[in-house]
Amino acid sequence: MQLSRDELKRAYRRMFTIRCFEERVEKEFAAGNIPGFAHVYLGQEASGVGICHDLTDEDYIGSTHRGHGHCISKGCDVKGMMLEIFGKSGGLCEGKGGSMHIADLSKGMLGANAIVGGAPPIAVGAALTQKLNKTGKVAVAFTGDGGSNQGTCFEAMNMAVVLGAPCVFVIENNGYGEFTGSSYAVGAPSIAERARAFGMPAETVDGTDFFAVRDAMANALERGRAGEGPYAIESQCPRYLGHFVGDPQAYRTKEELEETRNRDGIRNFKERVLEVGLLEQSDFDELDKEVLQEVEDAVKAALAAPFPSLDALETNVYLNY
């Protein structure tokens, strides 16, 4: 499907926002400004943005511990996210969630999830709502190669098939579950094959190719929006950094890390779009400037914002108790 100039700009803007956001998170983490730990999405930008490109705010996604990129792909506010990661008042979750629990229901973002394999069953439920209410909307379950080994993922896949729920399982295979290679930990030769065995169509896609990811998602959406049930996409997109920011990655060779960096979905996108002349270099320059400013403003706001007041400690456990 041909994309308009505006759509191309939006896709690039989101991918580049993820890149800048995550590089800045890395920097601010090293500077001691971010509590806890952070898992960044560098190298996987084209995957999340490609999957979410044709989703609306009424379509849902469930995410992973590596969720910043999914949030940005789904249109979450960058400043609200940065404040949340800093644990500050005014963050998307008022500083009570943090990096691994960013959610924005108004954007159809059901939450990053720090439990590996946590999101797929929840996404099936969000998809069930769409089916019962005949909305034509879908829910996406993001998980990784690690999450795809969890029983929860298998249960969710089977349940989605049995109930005919319009759930798209997106398994982002970044080659590693924590510090263990997926070639070791995934017993089957292909995660997509395994998903197909549950009784749904599945395909494998180069997760660094925005256009390929979007095309795969178009197939999933065609089926989901028509009420024909679930779909699975194994999106292969390498992780530039380690499991968490600061992971020295003693388990990866220098050669592999270099090779990984050469698979750059953003650079590829730009080259292809320039080549066919749909956008000019000046368009990219302008977007780059805007994004860098937005991230800079977000960090400034996060540094300046107060931590939540202690009154917040016991609020929002229940609606009423």
Phi/psi region, residue 61 (left: phi>0; alpha: psi -120 to 50; beta: rest), is: beta
Structure tokens, 182: 């997926």
Asked if 115 and 159 touch (Cβ cutoff 8 Å), the reply is no
Burial tier of 209 (Cβ tally within 10 Å: 0-12, 13-18, 19+): buried
Q: Which is nearer to other proteins, 30 or 132 (CB)?
A: 132
Give whichever of 132 and 188 is closer to other proteins, judged by the CB atom: 132
Looking up tokens 């190719």, which residue turns up?
A: 209
Residues binding other proteins (CB under 8 A):
60, 62, 91-97, 101, 103-106, 110-111, 113, 115, 118, 120-130, 132-133, 139, 151-152, 155-156, 158-159, 162-163, 165, 315-321
Cα separation, 143 vs 164, in Å, equals: 20
Q: Considering the complex, what minimum distance in angstroms separates the CB of residue 199 from other proteins?
A: 12
Specify the residue, 111 or 224, whose C-beta has the smaller distance to other proteins: 111
Distances from the Cα of 311 to the Cαs of 157, 307, 316, in angstroms? 41, 11, 11
State how far Cα 139 lies from the chain centre.
13
By beta-carbon proximity to other proteins, the closer residue of 69 and 121 is: 121
Q: For residue 128, which of 53, 62, 201, 191 has the smallest C-alpha distance?
A: 62
How far apart (Å, rounded) are the C-alpha atoms in residues 175 and 107? 29
Q: Specify the residue, 102 or 299, whose C-beta has the smaller distance to other proteins.
A: 102
CB of 66 to other proteins, least distance (A): 17
CB 14, min distance to other proteins, A:
22
Q: Considering the complex, what minimum distance in angstroms separates the CB of residue 106 from other proteins?
A: 8
Q: Which is nearer to other proteins, 55 or 92 (CB)?
A: 92
CB of 295 to other proteins, least distance (A): 22
Q: Nearest distance from residue 21's CB to other proteins, in Å?
A: 20
Question: How far apart, in whole angstroms, are the C-alpha atoms of residue 9 and residue 25?
Answer: 24
